[in-house]
Chains A and B, each alone.
Chain A
Amino acid sequence: MPVTERDGVKVWRRRDRRSQFSIWLGWFFGTLLFVQAWRLVSEHTIWDFALDAPVQAWDLMVRMVPPRWSYIDSLWRPMWDTLNIATLGTLLSIAIAFPIAFLAARNTTPGLVFVRPAALLMIVSSRSINSLIWALLLVTVVGPGVLAGIIAIALRSIGFIGKLLYEAIEETDRVQVEAITATGASRPQQLTYGVLPQIMPAFAGISVYRWDINIRESTVLGLVGAGGIGLQLNASVSRLAWNEVTVIFIVIFVTVIVSEWVSAKVRHAII
């Protein structure tokens, strides 16, 4: 207890001098870092453009309202494409991530020395690259269109599903697996009857959750040419047709809300 005596009176403090000083030092360097970072941002900003932001915002409002509702008729097909990108991409990623998760989990991996690090590396590299960057890359490889979007979503989701799933596998109860092993079951049987039933709810929950995120992500893939409603968004923004952009925003908003609701319902039903 950091208590000091001053003029014969005991004074209580929350921290001793040493930790007080290190906290002060943390704030000091944090502030220094922030100021430096802010200076860099400020140097790279054209302040004349930034300062008239309120005027620009008002201008944007005026142009966005009223929305051009008739435009919605040409959005059904892109929206269907967006849903397909998210759903098929999620299915593809599940198919790939499921075995990878078993290879990465400490208690089911066939090899700790080589296989597990390789699986973890796959998970990490998939996770650190955003789906939009994957899309950028795939558009140059397979050409613009829905296929690039599906693969981009799948590649990004492998890491997400793989990571959460292998953590779920590592948390499974060993006793149940041992009970199955005691009956003389083979290795695949141990996995199907011992591990799989334990991770099934988590797996379904993770997949639906990722699907919900993917809906949101697939709305922007079109900006780099990977299909879906983003293509329309890009076209309307470059034509400065902001009243069409409003309609697109509303469609995206409704879709995301609905998918979030569906995903919450499904997860609630499972868990």
Chain B
Amino acid sequence: MSTAAAASRSWRPPPFIANPWLRRGMWLGVLAYLALAIGSLEINWVRVAEGLERGWRFISAFARPNFTGRWGEISAGILESLAMTVTATAIGVALAVPVGLGAARNLAPLPVYLFCRGLIALSRTFQEVIIAILFVKMFGFGPLAGMVTLVVGTIGFNAKLLAEDIESADPAAMEAIRATGGSWGQLITYGVQPQVMPRFTGLAAYRLDINFRESSVIGIVGAGGIGSTLNTAFDRYEFETAAAILLVIIVIVMMAEYSSGHIRRRFQ
């Protein structure tokens, strides 16, 4: 067999996008965008080169983090973050139940449905930090503003997922409760709640974990927690303290993730 014949029999995997014109057009569009985007970046390479030394100092600071120097501030910040996380998750999950019920199309009348869905969409569109700016203006600096921010985020997250769960719940169970003449309250308690409860509990635990992560950043805009301590540490170029704070955050996040995963596995 000649090499030409072998070449003609060689096989190529089919392309991801079948239409060749669409494929080439997309590549062209991507290239044009990249050229435009990278061309419009204004990067001060001199400054970057100067900063590399500082970056190296930061990375080496992880080898000798300074926990003791500002331990008072670090522990106060962490405690505040944890307190914000716990209160916000409890209040937010409690409030997510009525909103979630209202946002389920198979339970709520249309006006209630639209209102609750609008509420959820609004709280999910804006980044937590932006919401925190508004609440800091309203409630003043401190953990209360942060807590309210996290409550809003929790409602958006848990209510949306609860509503989706309710909508995909088995209608036969609800039908059966209705057939016995059960009231709306009984329908929820005996027809819906047993079906959605395990997942809802798991998602509440997951949200606890997310809220702690968020609580470590909203302090940057003055909403309490470890974020403000971290911000100060960076402003003072105290990289050893910053590294210590980051390590504490990473450890707590890992612990929270592990335990929330454990809780979720137990309940599902």
Contacts and interface: CB of A to CB of B under 8 A. Distances in A.
Interface of A: 30, 33-34, 36-38, 40-42, 44-46, 49-50, 53, 56-57, 60, 80-81, 83-84, 87-88, 124-125, 127-130, 132-133, 136-137, 140-143, 145-147, 193, 197, 200, 204, 216-217, 219-220, 223-224, 233, 237, 249, 252-253, 256-257
Contacts of B40: 80-81, 84
A128 B254 contact: yes
A37 B37 contact: no
Contacts of B139: 45, 49-50, 53, 56
16 contacts: A33-B86, A37-B86, A38-B83, A41-B87, A44-B142, A49-B142, A50-B142, A56-B137, A88-B38, A128-B253, A133-B246, A141-B58, A145-B43, A219-B130, A252-B130, A256-B126
Interface of B: 13, 16, 33, 37-38, 40-44, 47-48, 50-52, 54-55, 58, 79-80, 82-87, 90, 125-127, 129-130, 133-134, 137-144, 147, 213-214, 216-217, 220-221, 224, 227, 230-231, 234, 237, 242, 246, 249-250, 253-254, 257
A140 B83 contact: no
A137 B82 contact: no
Identify whether the interface residues of A are mostly helix, strand, loop, or mixed.
helix
Nearest to A215: B127
A37 B82 contact: yes
Contacts of A129: 246, 249-250
A252 B163 CA distance: 26
Contact of A143 (B44, B230, B246, B257): B44
B130 A37 contact: no
Nearest to A64: B134
A169 to B, nearest CB: 18
Contacts of B127: 216-217, 219-220
Given A143-B47, A146-B43, 9 more contacts: A34-B87, A37-B87, A40-B83, A41-B147, A46-B142, A124-B250, A141-B58, A145-B43, A237-B133
A40 B214 CA distance: 18
B130 A220 contact: yes
A38 to B, nearest CB: 5
A252 B126 contact: yes
Nearest to B136: A237
B54 A140 contact: yes
Contacts of A34: 86-87, 90
Contacts of A137: 58, 234, 242
User: Which of B48, B58, B127 has the largest number of chain A CB atoms within 10 A?
Assistant: B127
A250 to B, nearest CB: 11
